[in-house]
């Protein structure tokens, strides 16, 4: 139960004195970092359900031309075509696939659309004759008969192709879907991506070399293609043409209509009111319509959890709702006056810290929600709460701007003294954790009542002592980070899933560079190339996307089995390095057992969570100057800065911190506690 005991019980005051390295280093040059767990999934778009319609239109469309001049050498009229279709449907029900379509069509036309007569006619024909005919058809592939068969096959195949087969890594949020014949429950759920590489391919494309795939138009099998159209239509149109180079910066300006992009993560102790606060904010912004909100209210009332109605806007899974806790990181988009915000609601419960880390690893700014109620703030902050760990983690992950929502102020009658008490306690800690005072704002709120969220509260209880911003104004005034659009392309996979059709999808935030449909990408590991067939940004298909965007990529030319959460997709010309051994500067957190050579850890890096071992303790470093104070120490203890060598079980793709801050930071966890944060100093092999 005391999984995070070490970090929670950590006396930060001891280690963050005046000019301690951490407080300073997190600033810019040193810095600490993060991690993640493989099993989380984003709330993803519900796949559009209207594919069946598209499919049907496509499937039957051919018959128009097929039968158009079959009656007395004149084209069929509209009514006749309809009659013919109706008769054919009826006959197919009776005859199934045993009779070629042309035979049926002839019979229908001869019997002048009398289906019974047509059936008698067909059935009375010499069976052997018919069989031979059919075989001929298949063998020679004559257009009409072949198509008839094909159309049946199409129908059968489309019946079994899942409309929404999201084989996510965690298996959660696997909303709708059909079972795919021949696939075990295990495959359909968690274990489709085994941890090791080098599996044989289940994907037809995987047997083709990358060059071979590129030389062909990248199209899914024709029978499945219509299902895919809503996602990749623009891609397919483009794939034949030469790719146009774009001026990304100008396009970004245009796309965002002058608004800047900001990735915002909501953090804080469980039950602080994170989901309620953001759910209510989205409702007030009009992102959730009244009818849906009414539905949530009714459903939550029925479930005996009326107070969770707003939280249900973000807590999407049954388990989350049942337990009343956020588990996965929910993702939503909303806009302020000057920004387009991607909101991530991270879980506060200690069991889901790795998920929280994944969310935070992709954030630019954070809102820390604390419960102002007496005893509750203290529970979250002092005795085993997540407030401290979350604060420290996001800072280590590179988040520098923070808004603190001092929530549930209604519970303390909007008392200024209570607000000030919390501001003082938190302020001290956040400063030690490396946040600049000027980058932290405190806002009194009531998520449940909706006070001070999107408009400044008019309540005299608050206005008599608070004149500051409301939460939305604060979000709007965050400074947008610089996007590394000019750097080579990098995207760290946060989820992998099989969607409809050929290829598969990965999601993640683009850390650097930009990407266009048709681009080739290299995945590290497994060091294989693929082609980008489609890009979706906030569920909309787009032709390009750039650093800072959370995207879903449809990829072909690679076997899904080779891609795990944590793989980095990069530009093949300027690839990221994959290694199993690297050197790093680390800051040791509060640990009870000193770290010695051979210490096993879990390396959390972006969305990677990989077992590793501390192979060498190279030196202890001075906290402020970074000078070596001791060579080859026997052990490392809490609060020390050190240079160590790490060895991972499987290759991981990393960058040197000096070259690429986002991809050069990591965290080390052991026994459920974060024991160190580090930056990559040297990649060995
Ligand atoms: P989370 O775990 O941080 O996401 O917290 P939830 O949003 O699930 O809220 C936990 C509980 O606190 C729910 O019962 C909410 O109704 C309640 N709650 C949230 N915000 C407020 C608030 O501003 N005032 C009061 N009185 N209760 C709140």
At 347, is the pLDDT very low, low, confident or very high (cuts 50, 70, 90)? low
Q: How far is the CA of 347 from the centre of ligand 1 (A)?
A: 13
Phi and psi torsions of 184, nearest 5°: -75, 165
579/595 Cα distance (integer angstroms): 23
Mean pLDDT across 218-233 = 30
Residues forming a β-bridge with 669: 602, 674
Encode pLDDT of 495-517 as tens digits. 888 877 778 999 888 989 999 99
At 673, is the pLDDT very low, low, confident or very high (cuts 50, 70, 90)? confident
- To test the pocket of ligand 1, the residue of 265, 268, 270, 271 to mutate (highest count of ligand atoms within 8 Å of its CB) is 271
Q: What residue's CA is closest to ligand 1, atom 12?
A: 273
Q: Are strands 339-345 and 260-267 parallel, antiparallel or unpaired?
A: parallel
Max mean pLDDT range (124-138, 152-166, 242-256, 343-357): 242-256
Q: How far is the CA of 308 from the centre of ligand 1 (A)?
A: 7
Work out the burial of residue 576: count CB atoms within 10 Å of its CB; fewer than 13 is exposed, 13-18 middle, 19 or more buried: buried
645/680 Cα distance (integer angstroms): 10
Question: Does residue 69 have its Cβ closer than 6 Å to ligand 1?
Answer: no
Full-prediction pTM beyond 0.85? Answer: no
72/62 Cα distance (integer angstroms): 21
Q: What residue's CA is closest to ligand 1, atom 10?
A: 271
pLDDT of residue 308: 67
Q: How far is the CA of 74 from the centre of ligand 1 (A)?
A: 72
Q: What residue's CA is closest to ligand 1, atom 18?
A: 273
Least confident of 35-39, 263-267, 426-430, 523-527: 35-39
Encode pLDDT of 145-201 as tens digits. 333 333 333 333 322 222 222 222 232 332 222 222 223 223 333 232 233 332 233
Question: Does residue 43 have its Cβ closer than 6 Å to ligand 1?
Answer: no
Q: How far is the CA of 273 from the centre of ligand 1 (A)?
A: 4
Atom in ligand 1 nearest the alpha carbon of residue 311: 7
CB 107 within 8 A of CB 67: no
pLDDT of residue 313: 66
At 212, is the pLDDT very low, low, confident or very high (cuts 50, 70, 90)? very low
- To test the pocket of ligand 1, the residue of 371, 448, 453 to mutate (highest count of ligand atoms within 8 Å of its CB) is 448
164/181 Cα distance (integer angstroms): 14
668/35 Cα distance (integer angstroms): 8
Residue 30 has pLDDT above 90, yes or no: no
CB 190 within 8 A of CB 173: no
Atom in ligand 1 nearest the alpha carbon of residue 272: 3
At 571, is the pLDDT very low, low, confident or very high (cuts 50, 70, 90)? very high
Q: What residue's CA is closest to ligand 1, atom 2?
A: 271
Residue 418 has pLDDT above 90, yes or no: yes
Q: Which of 394, 330, 342, 332 is nearest to 368 (CA)?
A: 394
Distances, alpha carbon 400 to alpha carbons 182, 262, 329, in Å: 49, 13, 20
Question: Does residue 367 have its Cβ closer than 6 Å to ligand 1?
Answer: no
190/388 Cα distance (integer angstroms): 32
Q: How far is the CA of 448 from the centre of ligand 1 (A)?
A: 7
Question: Does residue 407 have its Cβ closer than 6 Å to ligand 1?
Answer: yes
Q: How far is the CA of 310 from the centre of ligand 1 (A)?
A: 9
At 466, is the pLDDT very low, low, confident or very high (cuts 50, 70, 90)? very high
The string over 607-644, giving b where at least 16 C-beta atoms fall within 10 Å of a residue's C-beta and e elsewhere, is bbbbebebbebbbbbebeeeeeeeeebeebebbbbbbb
pLDDT of residue 322: 53
348/266 Cα distance (integer angstroms): 9
At 222, is the pLDDT very low, low, confident or very high (cuts 50, 70, 90)? very low
Question: Does residue 158 have its Cβ closer than 6 Å to ligand 1?
Answer: no
Question: Does residue 336 have its Cβ closer than 6 Å to ligand 1?
Answer: no
More confident position, 617 or 83:
617
pLDDT of residue 579: 93
Mean pLDDT across 117-143 = 53
148/153 Cα distance (integer angstroms): 9
Q: How far is the CA of 271 from the centre of ligand 1 (A)?
A: 6
Atom in ligand 1 nearest the alpha carbon of residue 445: 23
Q: How far is the CA of 360 from the centre of ligand 1 (A)?
A: 21
Q: Where are the alpha helices (DSSP H) in 452-576?
A: 460-463, 471-477
pLDDT of residue 315: 58
More confident position, 365 or 72:
365
Q: How far is the CA of 309 from the centre of ligand 1 (A)?
A: 10
Beta strands in 24-68 (DSSP E): none
- To test the pocket of ligand 1, the residue of 268, 270, 306, 307 to mutate (highest count of ligand atoms within 8 Å of its CB) is 307
Q: What residue's CA is closest to ligand 1, atom 28?
A: 448
Mean pLDDT across 336-357 = 70
Q: How far is the CA of 7 from the centre of ligand 1 (A)?
A: 25
**Residue 510: partners with Cβ closer than 8 Å, 6 or more residues away:** 489, 490, 491, 545, 546, 547, 548, 549, 551
Q: What is the mean pLDDT of the chain?
A: 70
Question: Does residue 411 have its Cβ closer than 6 Å to ligand 1?
Answer: yes
pLDDT of residue 288: 74
Question: Does residue 447 have its Cβ closer than 6 Å to ligand 1?
Answer: yes
Q: How far is the CA of 377 from the centre of ligand 1 (A)?
A: 13
Atom in ligand 1 nearest the alpha carbon of residue 411: 26
pLDDT of residue 286: 81
Q: How far is the CA of 315 from the centre of ligand 1 (A)?
A: 12
Q: How far is the CA of 390 from the centre of ligand 1 (A)?
A: 18
């Amino acid at each position: 139960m005391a999984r995070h005991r070490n970090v929670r019980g950590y006396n930060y005051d001891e280690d963050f004195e005046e000019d301690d390295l951490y407080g300073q280093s997190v600033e810019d040059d040193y810095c600490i970092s993060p991690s993640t767990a493989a099993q989380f999934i984003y709330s993803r778009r519900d796949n559009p359900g209207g594919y069946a319609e598209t499919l049907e239109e496509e499937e039957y469309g051919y018959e128009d031309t097929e039968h158009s001049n079959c009656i007395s050498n004149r084209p069929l009229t509209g009514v006749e075509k309809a009659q013919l279709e109706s008769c054919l449907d009826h006959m197919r029900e009776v005859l199934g696939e045993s009779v070629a379509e042309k035979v049926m069509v002839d019979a229908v036309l001869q019997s002048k659309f009398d289906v019974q007569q047509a059936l008698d006619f067909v059935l009375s024909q010499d069976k052997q004759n018919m069989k031979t005919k059919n075989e001929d058809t298949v063998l020679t592939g004559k257009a009409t008969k072949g198509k008839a068969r094909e159309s049946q096959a199409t129908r059968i195949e489309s019946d079994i192709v899942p409309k929404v087969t999201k084989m996510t890594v965690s298996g959660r949020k696997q909303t709708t879907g059909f079972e795919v014949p021949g696939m075990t429950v295990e495959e359909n759920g968690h274990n489709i991506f085994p941890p090791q590489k080098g599996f044989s391919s289940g994907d037809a494309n995987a047997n083709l070399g990358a060059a071979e795939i590129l030389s062909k138009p990248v199209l899914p099998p024709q029978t499945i293609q219509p299902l895919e159209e809503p996602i990749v239509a623009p891609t397919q149109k483009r794939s034949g043409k030469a790719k146009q180079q774009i001026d990304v910066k100008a396009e970004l300006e245009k796309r965002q209509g002058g608004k800047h992009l900001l990735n915002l993560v909501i953090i804080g102790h469980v039950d602080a009111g994170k989901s309620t606060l953001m759910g209510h904010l989205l409702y007030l912004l009009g992102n959730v319509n009244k009818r849906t909100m009414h539905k949530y209210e009714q459903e939550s009332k029925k479930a005996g959890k009326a107070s969770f109605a707003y939280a249900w806007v973000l807590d999407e899974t049954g388990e989350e709702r049942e337990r009343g806790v956020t588990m996965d990181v929910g993702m939503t988009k909303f806009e302020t006056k000057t920004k387009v915000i991607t909101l991530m609601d991270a879980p506060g419960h200690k069991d889901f810290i790795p998920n929280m880390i994944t969310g935070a690893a992709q954030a630019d700014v954070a809102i820390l929600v604390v419960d102002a109620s007496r005893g509750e703030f203290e529970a979250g902050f002092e005795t085993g709460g997540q407030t401290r760990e979350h604060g420290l983690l996001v800072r280590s992950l590179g988040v520098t701007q923070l808004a603190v929502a001092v929530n549930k102020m209604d519970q303390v009658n909007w008392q200024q003294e209570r607000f000030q008490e919390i501001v003082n306690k938190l302020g001290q800690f956040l400063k030690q954790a490396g946040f600049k005072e000027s980058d932290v704002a405190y806002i009194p709120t009531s998520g449940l009542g909706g006070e001070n969220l999107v408009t400044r509260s008019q309540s005299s209880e608050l206005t008599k002592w608070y004149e500051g911003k409301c939460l939305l104004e604060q979000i709007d005034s965050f400074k947008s980070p610089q996007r590394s659009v000019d750097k080579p392309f990098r995207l760290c996979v946060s989820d992998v899933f099989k969607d409809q059709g050929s290829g598969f999808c990965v999601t993640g935030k683009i850390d650097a560079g930009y990407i266009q449909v048709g681009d080739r990408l290299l995945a590290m590991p497994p060091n294989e190339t693929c082609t980008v067939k489609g890009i979706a940004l906030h569920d909309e298909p787009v032709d390009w996307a750039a650093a800072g965007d959370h995207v879903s990529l449809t990829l072909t030319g690679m076997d899904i089995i080779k891609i795990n959460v944590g793989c980095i997709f990069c530009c093949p010309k300027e690839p990221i390095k994959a290694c199993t051994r690297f050197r790093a500067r680390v800051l040791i957190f509060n640990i009870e057992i000193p770290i010695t050579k051979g210490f096993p850890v879990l390396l959390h890096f972006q969305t990677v969570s990989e077992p590793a071992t501390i192979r060498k303790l190279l030196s202890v470093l001075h906290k402020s100057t970074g000078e070596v104070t001791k060579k080859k120490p026997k052990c490392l203890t809490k609060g020390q800065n050190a240079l160590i060598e790490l060895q991972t079980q499987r290759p991981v793709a990393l960058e040197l911190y000096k070259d690429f801050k986002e991809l050069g930071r990591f965290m080390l966890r052991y026994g459920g506690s974060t024991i160190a944060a580090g930056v990559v100093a040297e990649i060995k092999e």
